[in-house]
Amino acid sequence: MHYETDTAPGSSGSPVFSDQWEVVALHHSGVPRRDRQRCILAKDGTLWRPEQGEDKIDWIANEGVSISRLVRHIRQQNLSLAQQRLREQLFNIPSQLESNSVQSPSVFTATQQPSINPDGSAA
């Protein structure tokens, strides 16, 4: 999944949200601009060289692994019995949240909207 947003070094593994604040992917990479030979380009349009540092790369997007692909991969794994139990617990979380034994996390409803701070962060 490609998307445009600012990211900082060390953002890999961060959640990627939809406009409805649903987690749709996990961030894992930037997407550099490339020439016809698939060489990475620098911000000035020249060929990028590693000694220039990653901050000189002409990044055009970010890339994340979609949650649906991660779920499919996890479900297809051959696991030990103990691991199968853990996987079953992972995928049964929504039904457990509906019971009284587990507190439901706080979520925004249609009438509650996140506030956007001047720096672009949301609360």
Is the pTM higher than 0.75? Answer: no
- Tell whether 73 is covered by a domain: yes
- Tell whether 105 is covered by a domain: no
- Tell whether 81 is covered by a domain: yes
- Tell whether 82 is covered by a domain: yes
How far apart (Å, rounded) are the C-alpha atoms in residues 69 and 1?
Answer: 10
- Tell whether 113 is covered by a domain: no
- Number of domains present in the structure of the chain: 1
What phi, psi does 38 have (nearest 5°)? Answer: 70, 20
Q: Residue 27: beta bridge partners? A: 64
Which domain does 77 fall in, by range?
2-98
- Tell whether 57 is covered by a domain: yes
End-to-end CA distance of the chain: 25
- pLDDT at residue 96 is higher than 90: no
Q: How far is CA 58 from CA 27, 83, 121, in A?
A: 18, 42, 24
How far apart (Å, rounded) are the C-alpha atoms in residues 3 and 5?
Answer: 7
From 108, 117, 118, select the one nearest 18 (Cα to Cα).
108
- Dump pLDDT digits (tens) for 7-59: 877 888 999 998 889 899 999 998 999 999 999 999 999 999 999 998 899 99
- Tell whether 40 is covered by a domain: yes
- Tell whether 116 is covered by a domain: no
